[in-house]
Structure 1
Amino acid sequence: MTTPDTTVRVRFEGGRGGEAPLTWAQRFMYDVVESLRGQDTHLNFHIRADVPAGLSAEAVAAAVRTLVERNEVLRTRFHPGPDGEPVQTVLASGTVEIGLVDGVGPDAVEDFCAAVRFADHEWPLRVSLLCDDDEPRHLVVTVGHAAVDQWAAALLGDQLTALLAGDAGGTPPDGEQPLDRARFEASPEGEQLRQRTLGHLEAQLRAAQQTLFPVASRVPETPRYWIGELDSPLGGIAIRKAARRLRVPATAVLLGLFAIFVGERGRTGAPLMLIIAGNRHTEAAMRYVGQLAQFTATTVPVDPDSVAATVRAASRGLLESYSFGQYPTLELQRLVETVGTQRGVALDLTTTLNVHHSDADMSPVSDEAFAEAVAQHEGATTFGWLSKLEVENYKLYLDARVDDRLHLWLRTDTAVISPAGTEALLRGMEHAMVRLATGDLKVAELMAQTGTPASSPATGDERVVDHSLVDLRDCLRLVTDATGAPAAVAVEDGDRLTAWVAPADPATVTPQDLHAACMAALPGRRTAMAPQHYVVCAHPPADPADLAQWRALPVVASATGR
């Protein structure tokens, strides 16, 4: 880690100050950062600008001053309020420090910024001026993710470059700032947006499988979470041609293929995928310097007869869901709990796709040009491990960027997919893009060509109940472990999991008690679910394994327990 040789303090006078609750998007990312317990530095944005030759350190400092005065989020502190809930405090004036480092070249920039972590009550930025023989060469501004998203970081980069070049252009004075956003979210219009978005998300949650990973766990590696990186020059051309041929955005190609590979591993016919919504739908939002990105969700129905049809379905879901990405994150958490309790499942929303904005050339690619690219780039794809983490919030998190190449980064929980499986998944997605560029194939063909085990239908005691693959033996263990009583379970009326339970004192135990106990014991049991109906029996049968005897017992109470 390179430390500053000296520090310059820059006084700013920003004009407006104030305090407000965090915006919905700020709170979303604030909670992510806090949950990582200090291992969040990879989330920071490092904005680098080359300093024009001959520009003095004083002129650079003046550009930084203007940048901070103009963008309130750069002079905002995120911290717990009096009630413990996080708030944002914008200061009208203050001081920003610029660390001066001499004798450091561009290659040291990433290392210089790698360990930056922002604490409560601290500005969400660090400014470093890298010099060569005391001549300013590079300016690096590191900004925390709770303050800005990728789009906003790019806006700041554009402003910084313009200011260093002597151009006073940038965010208009009347542009919306985070304090304005917080007021909107508390308004009647914001309430309408909240209700509309949560309604969409609730519909997705009610149709979601409990987990995309009902398969057996493996012993995780140490550290547990690995980030694999695939770089493919051919993939950049293939996804462009496939997207044009199928008339879908490149993001839909990525989402559809990711859903196929995850769904096959998890034996899920229609996986629910979290995707990052940029929420930049208006001109004002396009100019907004702050955090706007949040998760939204879409179900991707996998068509076993056509990978192309799956990608088109992903495109339809993607375009719809992008309109439902703004909501209070705590209310989504409560909604997940409520829907899960009503359905009897512990919803696992830990598989995510994030496609970074890029200015990729999406012009048509002829068949001849594509054939030449296949020959030219054969064997040029590289894969490696970027880093390994002890803490991560998601089992699978796919980052993607498309420019003249395809860049994929997959953060993997090695308890659900092995390191070799991670590489196979990314290479499989690349292979599928190449195939889709000129044709189509069945999902089983794709699995065979990429060496991915194909999913199998439910067998034996396995059942699909309320969109979720469960094992009746595990459901029975859940009920007996949770209640401490003899029990039996069965699927009745096509899709209703029923439990018969004989508590020691049946007169004092209600179906509500049984359901609460089962829900408390459910987390971590990926092939079990809480029954949808409970029958409290007066006593156990002579043979607890005989379902007919359970059905013949005197009934004390019978209800859903909800």
Structure 2
Amino acid sequence: MTVVADPGQHRRQRVRLTPQRTIQVPVTGSREAEGPLTLGQVNIAQWLSQVPDHFYSVLCVELPVPAGASVDDVVETIAVLGARHEALRTSYDLGEEKRQLVAASGTLPLEVCVLGQGRWGPRDRTSVAGTLLRLLRDNPDPDRPAMRVVVAVSPDEDGRVIACAGAFSHMAVDHGAIEILRREFAELVGDPSRRHVGTPRHQPLDQARLEATPAERHRARAAQVYLQRQTSKIPRLLYHMPDTSPGGDPLAVELSSPAAATAVRRVAARTRASRPSVVLAAICAVLAHRTGDEEIVLPLMSGNRFDRHLLDYVGALAQGTIASVGVAGRDFDALVAHTWTTVLEASRHARYDAAERARLDERIAHERGLLFRYEPLFNNLAPEPGPGTSPGALPGTDELRAALAHTELRWRPVQRNAKPVRFNLNQLDERLVLDLWVEDDGVVPRQEAESLLLAFERVLVAAAHEDLTTARMHDLIGLPTAERSADWLLLDSCRVDLRQVQSLLDDALAPAVTRVFAEADGHPLVAYVTITDHVSTPEQAHARCMAALPDHPAVLTPRHYVLCPTAPTDPADLASWPAPRHTGTGRAPAPPVEL
């Protein structure tokens, strides 16, 4: 097999890789043991049970290698990492009683590829590493080892390693763990004197035992209580715009902006908030303006690395949580501070039993009459230098304007993602790199995605020099707030189109005659339904509507059902419906989570 990629416009040399050999690197640890999964592992297992071949089931990253590194250096580095971190020697039994199984010894694969003829050196690392990453993604290992490494070596007799990349099982690691492995890989491959296992680390089996203690179990239950409150108000779809045409393709649009990176540093220093919180505040300001919502309730990922013993922990810890960011009435600096504290609060409640959360979500979804999509997800993958970091000299207006000339927007097709809208913050240092993924470009067209990202950049750059009033932010965003017809209503934090609810009723309850009303007898969103052999109670009507929701992704079910023996001549005339046989919500309230 030969993998070919164009390394860029400025290089004519093409990257050609020919597999040469696979080395099974022996790794030996200090113990063989087994035990229950950690909460982080349960979270990944729960997710992969639904989407086993998800794009992120394996995480692929470049691994840093110094100039002159050899294949032997990489082999010895892998051996030390495999001995040091039990997650790299762990397999999983995901049956009824889920377990992690740590092997005392084993092997990890290192694939060696040879570059085509030419002169290869450090300046080629980026293009060669990109080709290695594509090789890993396009040719997954069916055995799914915890760590799989591939190197590209020069065609010269010395076999210098030009670039290196790794693929990691998400069951074994998360992005925080990968950053630890990348740092340690760089240290070990560049310095033979460091190639020793070192003192014992906190391992996933240790974490599982810790999580079984009363204090940690109480902490997990408190997280469930917090999430129940947030899940009870998160919208079905936040970015639900009128007059869209579902049925398009997924795509990602990337904003790369040195001006925004500079602005974020300045605002973070002024507000003493984290840089990702500054980014999220700007995102929330733009979303709130475009949708007309006063509060943005959105899911985000927490690395869960707050405790000292987890700072160098290699294992899956990250879990999702939900933050409620109140945008209305806040100037930008106040919004940043509020976002910072809100994200901290949400992140403190992000370690829980994912299976129990799924059961809780199912109950709340049944009560609210919706299916959760958890969007727009905000996932911060950029290293954070910490609050209050000095921004350096404040750039002048001319410098910022010049930096804006280097803003880049790129778009690319992507695999279909479970999130209708997703923001990935990938870089925050010299450039701010922010991806906006959309599941359906019929719902969020490419032009709309680009407009959102550029509005976000305008807000940040303007905030670099001064706080922004809400009116000033609206002017900078420069996009219209969505206008909705009288067929739309705001109910239970969701924008609801009555026409789409009627379509749900027609689909779910046929052959019954149905009609939805925005309000009837003091109840919002009421469905009048004729009794049939299959639907004679509110509970049966609601169950059928819930079952049909996957085909109606932007809909809430009625909050109240009225079952009548016959239909009037004009079902749209509320007063003409006959006296009902049965009325009710069709659901029982979700019980609260107790501490």
TM-score bucket (shorter structure)? 0.7 to 0.9
C-alpha distance in 2 between matches for 1:493 and 1:546 = 14
Residue matched to 2:10: none
Is residue 63 of structure 1 aligned with residue 77 of structure 2?
yes
Aligned to 1:116, the other structure's residue is in SS state: helix
CA distance in 2, matches of 1:365, 1:194: 37
Q: 1:475·1:530 contact (CA, 8 Å) conserved in 2?
A: yes
State the match for 1:116 in structure 2: 136
Amino acid aligned to 1:465? L
Greater shift in the superposed pair: 126-135 or 235-244: 126-135
1:329 shift after superposition: 2.5
TM-superposed deviation, 1:406: 1.3
2:469 & 2:316 partners in 1: Cα distance?
40
- Assess if the C-alpha contact under 8 Å between 2:41 and 2:317 holds in 1: yes
Q: CA deviation at 1:430?
A: 0.9
How large is the Cα RMSD of the aligned pairs?
3.1
Find 2:202's aligned residue among 155, 173, 176. Answer: 176
2:429 counterpart (394, 403, 410)? 403
Q: Is the 8 A contact 2:62 2:133 kept in 1?
A: no
Please report how far the alpha carbon of residue 353 of structure 1 lies from its aligned counterpart in structure 2 after TM superposition: 1.0
Alpha-carbon separation, structure 2, partners of 1:412 and 1:130? 34
Do 2:523 and 2:559's aligned partners in 1 also have CA atoms closer than 8 Å?
A: no
Greater Cα shift, 131-140 or 6-15:
131-140
Of residues 502, 510, 519 in structure 2, which corresponds to 1:491?
Answer: 519
Cα distance, 1:334 vs. partner?
Answer: 2.5
2:234 and 2:298 in contact (8 A); partners too = no
Q: What are the residue-to-residue correspondences of 1:20-419 with 2, within 5 Å? A: 20-30=35-45, 38=53, 40=55, 44-51=59-66, 53=68, 57-78=71-92, 81-83=94-96, 87-103=99-115, 106=125, 107-116=127-136, 121-132=143-154, 133=156, 134-137=158-161, 138-164=163-189, 165-168=191-194, 173-215=199-241, 216-218=243-245, 221=248, 224-303=249-328, 306-358=331-383, 360=385, 363-365=389-391, 369-385=395-411, 387-400=412-425, 401-413=427-439, 414-419=441-446
CA distance in 1, matches of 2:70, 2:334: 58
The alpha carbon displacement at 1:60 in A equals 4.1
Structure 1 counterpart of 2:573, one-letter code: D
Q: Is the 8 A contact 1:303 1:309 kept in 2?
A: no
Tell me how far apart the structure 2 counterparts of residues 415 and 18 of structure 1 sit (CA, whole Å).
51
The residue type paired with residue 393 of structure 1 is A
1:136 and 1:547 mapped to 2: Cα distance? 80
Q: Does the 8 Å CA contact 2:284/2:296 hold for their aligned counterparts?
A: yes
In the alignment, is the contact (CA less than 8 A) between 1:277 and 1:296 conserved in 2?
yes
In the other structure, the counterpart of 1:7 is 22
Q: Which runs of 5+ in 2 are unaligned?
A: 4-16, 588-595
Aligned to 1:424: 451
2:171 and 2:256 mapped to 1: Cα distance?
28
User: Which stretch of structure 1 is more off in the superposition, 251-260 or 428-437?
Assistant: 251-260
Task: Give the 5 Å matches for 1:433-444.
Answer: 433-441=460-468
Secondary structure at 1:50 match in 2: coil
Displacement of 1:253 in angstroms is: 1.8
Amino acid corresponding to residue 556 of structure 2 in structure 1: M
Aligned CA distance change for structure 1 residues 313 and 63 (closer, same or farther; 3 Å): closer
Change over 3 Å in CA distance of 1:290–1:555 after alignment to 2:
same
Report the secondary structure of 2:419's partner residue.
coil
1:500 is matched with 528
Cα separation, partners in 2 of 1:98 and 1:453, compared to 1, 3 Å: same
Structure 1 vs Structure 2: percent identity of aligned residues? 27
In 2: Cα distance, 1:359 partner to 1:353 partner = 15
TM-score by length of 2: 0.83
Residues 525/66 of structure 1: CA separation in 2 closer, same or farther (3 Å cut): same
1:470 shift after superposition: 1.5
Where 1:97 maps in the other structure, the secondary structure is strand
Residues 315 and 60 (structure 1), Cα distance of their counterparts in 2 relative to 1, 3 Å cut: closer
User: What secondary structure is seen at the aligned counterpart in 2 of 1:271?
Assistant: strand
Relative to structure 1, the CA distance from residue 478 to residue 120 in structure 2 (aligned partners, 3 Å threshold; closer, same or farther) is same
Native 8 Å contact 1:465 1:495 kept in 2 = no
Q: What is the DSSP-based 3-state SS (H/G/I as helix, E as strand, rest coil) of the residue aligned with 1:256? A: helix
1:409-463 Cα deviation digits (max 9, x unpaired): 222221321112222211111110012223344656545544422134x642322
Instruction: Please give the secondary structure, in 1, of the residue aligned with 2:416.
Output: coil
Which blocks of at least 5 consecutive residues in structure 1 are unaligned?
none
Amino acid at match of 2:408: T
CA displacement 1:49-70 (0-9 Å, x = unmatched):
32575x7644542332121111
Q: Is the 8 A contact 1:272 1:299 kept in 2?
A: yes
Residue 559 to residue 427, structure 1, CA distance change in 2 (3 Å): same
Q: TM-score, normalised by structure 1?
A: 0.88
Q: Secondary structure at the match of 2:298?
A: strand
